[in-house]
Every structure is written in structure tokens, then in C-alpha cells.
Homo-oligomer: A and B are copies of this chain.
Amino acid sequence: MRKSNQNKLMKKDQYSLLKEKIKSKEFNSVFVLLDENTDKYCLEIFINKSGINTYNKIVIKSGEENKNIDTCISIWKELNSHKADRKSLIINLGGGVLTDIGGFVASTYLRGIEFVNVPTTLLGMVDAAHGGKTGIDFLSLKNQIGVFSMPMYVILDSDYLKTLSKQEYLNGYAEIFKHSFLTNSTDLNFDSLIKLDFFSDIDFIINKYSHIKNKIVKVDKHESNIRKILNLGHTIGHALESYSYLSNNLNELKHGEAIIVGLITELYISNQLNNFPLKKVDKLKEVSLKYFDKIRLTDSDLEAIYDLMTFDKKNNKGSVNFVLLDKSGKPLIDQKVDNDIYIKAFAYYSE
């Protein structure tokens, strides 16, 4: 009971801070960026909680396929037509796609205006809205164009999750699993995480598991080094996600659906190359397959995904760099993985 009251108080504080800043005339104008869904389901909640009543609304189309330069151009135009200036504020109310594009648009308008992220999906709350990676897709490649730019702050409020389908909700869990493998805290590691209730413990999960990311990002804002560990599961996961958009063989995958496959296969590779305990990989596979459908991939799918990996922006000169875990679970960056181990990992995933 007390814990839940604390959470409520914390949520309220976040909105008060924002309202105060706006009231104190630190900003000349306020823009709320929405997509079709958050306009319909989240704006009212946000307005009620924040009490902000003077703002311009910009609504973009939902979906990763609209995270592109044309959408940026349309937002820049709207900002321009409402005479947004250097002291305007953009509030990004939406999922990862919206906070990515909203952060990029804000960071490039007049060489950068302030923005606040209010993630409305679990994925956004524990991952996408944090850390300053902004950007858009370009030529079917994810986040090819963008900048590193930190939001002024991020408002975390699980009440928005009530607006999501169960599938949308679960989409965030891949990153939560990932973060559980990247913490030293025995209270938050994978073994502890799976003892929690994925629904009723959600406030605790959002606060603790987003904090794991923020701690890592803080020491390496531009992904020169340590931050790379956050790419665990993403070498394969990203390529699989891109492939699902490019190929007709596969339905388009949600980010979390692809990352969970990346996580399982890359932890299996960690087992094969570094003796990371197979028991943990088995457990991850078991738990995640309760929530996520297994993706069926053919040999030619796997070949195409491998080719895409060689063009991920984190890789230099055609070689593929993985983040793997060592025997004790410590992350190792810039690890090379041969194609045969990659194939073997998918055999393990599929069996």
C-alpha cells in the first residue's frame, strides 16, 4: 500500500515540475507531438494530469513506416507555421517511434530546442525514451539518420499502459530481460526479474529497469564504448526486425518480438563461445516463449538476416560485432561471431 502511494506521489511530482517550468515562462510556446493513437487514447490523460492548457498539437501517422524524413519535414513545417522559436518546447507523447522522431525533430529545429519525452508504451518507458538516441529510418535501414541528444527529462507514468493491447504491452519485455542481464544487482538480475509479476509489479519494473539503462548511458553518451553493452541481443535482433520489414516471407515484427529472438540466440552464442550458463539461456527461452510467438525462419531468411547484420551502423568495415556475455555474465563488446555459430544459435532457438 505504502509503495503504491509513493509511486502515485512520484508520478504527480513529474507533472508538477513540467507545469512549473512552463508556467514560469521558461518557454514561449509548447507543442505536443502525438500519433493517431496517442491523440485518441493518451492526450486527455496527459492534459488532465499535467494541467497544461495552452499548447499546439501536432499529430503524425502511427507506425515505424512513418519514422522517416517526410514525417520530419511535416513536423518542421508545423513548428514553423506556428512560429516555434528557440524557446519553444516539444512534448513527445507516444511510443518509441514517436520519441525517436520527436527528439530528432526538436534537436535539429533551429539547431536544437528542448524536448520532454512522455513514453506511453512499456518499451518507451524502459528503453526508447531514455538515453538521447534520436533518429529516423532511411532507405529501410533503422535509425540511419539521427543525433545523440538528451531530453530535458522523461516522465514515467504506467497509467498510459492501460491504453495498450497485451501484445503492445509485452513488446517492452525484451528490453527488460536485456537490462536484467546487464545489472550486477542480485535484486534485479534475470533470476529475480522472473519472480516478479509482469503486470502488477509494473511500476517497480519501469523505475528500476529504466534506471539500469540510464546508469550505463550516463558514462558514455555517444556510444564510444561501455554503452555498446546495451546492444546485447540487438545485432541479430535489429537485423531480424529490418528483415521482417523488407521481406515478404515474414510478417512485420515488433521491436520486442525481434529483440527477444536476438537475445536468446546471442546468449546461446555466449554459451557456445564463452561458457555462459546454458541453464539461463534455456530459462530465458522458456519464459519468453510463454509471451512471444516463435518466429519460423528458413535457411534463406537466415542468410539474408546475416547479410543485413554486416550493414548495421554499429559495425565497421563489413565485420559483425556482437555483445556477448562471459561465463560469469559480464558483457564483452566487439566480439566476432562466425556464420556457423550463428546458424547453430538459430537451430537452438527453433528446436
A interface residues, Cβ below 8 angstroms from B = 28, 69, 73, 76-77, 80, 83, 85-87, 107-112, 133-135, 138-139, 141, 143-148, 222-223, 311, 313-318
Contact = CB atoms under 8 A, between A and B. Distances in A.
Contact of A138 (B76, B86, B145): B76
Contact of A314 (B73, B80, B86, B317): B86
B317 A107 contact: no
A116 to B, nearest CB: 18
B28 A316 contact: yes
Given A80-B139, A83-B318, 18 more contacts: A76-B145, A80-B138, A83-B311, A85-B313, A85-B315, A85-B316, A86-B314, A87-B316, A87-B317, A108-B145, A108-B146, A108-B147, A109-B145, A111-B135, A111-B143, A111-B147, A111-B223, A112-B222
A143 B86 CA distance: 13
Contacts of A135: 111
Q: In the A-B complex, list the 8 residue pairs whose CB atoms are closest, starting with the nearest.
A: A110-B313, A28-B317, A111-B146, A87-B316, A108-B145, A85-B316, A111-B148, A28-B316
B316 A147 contact: no
19 contacts: A28-B317, A69-B73, A76-B138, A76-B145, A80-B139, A85-B316, A85-B317, A108-B108, A111-B134, A111-B143, A111-B146, A111-B147, A111-B148, A111-B222, A111-B223, A111-B313, A112-B148, A112-B222, A147-B147
Max count, chain B CB within 10 A of own CB: residue among A110, A135, A144, A311: A110
A313 to B, nearest CB: 4
Nearest to A141: B80
B69 A109 contact: no
Contacts of A145: 76, 108-109
Nearest to A132: B111
A80 B135 CA distance: 16
Contacts of A144: 76, 80, 109-110
A196 B313 CA distance: 50
B316 A86 contact: yes
Contacts of A316: 28, 85-87
Contacts of A138: 76, 80
Contacts of A317: 28, 85, 87
Contacts of A107: 147
Nearest to A110: B313
A159 to B, nearest CB: 31
A296 to B, nearest CB: 30
Nearest to A135: B111
Nearest to A312: B85
Contacts of A76: 138, 144-145
A313 B111 CA distance: 9
